[in-house]
Amino acid sequence: MKKKTKTSNKQIKYFEEDSDDNFYYVAGYTDGGAPYGLTREEIISQNLRFRAALNKDAHKAAELIHIAIADIAEKLTGQKKEENIRETLEHLFREENNRLSYQNAIVADVLGEVVGVVITYPGADASRLDEPLIKRLREKRKNEVIVFDKEADEGDFYIDTVCVDNRYRGYGIGTMLLKEAEKLAIQKGYSRISLNVAEDNPYAKKLYVQLGYKEDKVIKINEHLYGYMVKIH
Report pLDDT digits (tens) over 86-123: 999 999 999 999 999 999 999 999 999 999 999 999 99
CA 209 – CA 163 distance, rounded (Å): 18
> Same domain, yes or no, for 31 and 57?
no
> Same domain, yes or no, for 115 and 23?
no
Report pLDDT digits (tens) over 32-54: 888 888 888 999 999 999 999 99
Cβ atoms 151, 218 nearer than 8 A:
no
Strand pairing report for 224-232 and 214-221: antiparallel
Write down the pTM of the prediction: 0.88
pLDDT at site 7 = 40
Q: How many structural domains are present in the chain? A: 2
Residue 197 has pLDDT above 50, yes or no: yes
- 8 band by pLDDT with thresholds 50, 70 and 90: very low
Mean pLDDT of 163-178: 96
pLDDT at site 19 = 65
> Same domain, yes or no, for 122 and 181?
yes
Cβ atoms 88, 34 nearer than 8 A:
no
Backbone φ and ψ of 100, nearest 5°: -100, 10
Closest CA to 103 of 137, 140, 57, 67: 57
**AA identity, residue 1:** M
Whether residue 44 is contained in a domain is answered as: no
Q: What is the mean pLDDT of the chain?
A: 91
CATH of the domain at 65: 3.40.630.30
The beta-strand segments (E) located in 31-154 are 35-38, 48-52, 105-110, 113-122
Range of 16's domain? Answer: 9-38
Which residues 6+ apart lie within 8 Å of 8 measured at CB? Answer: none
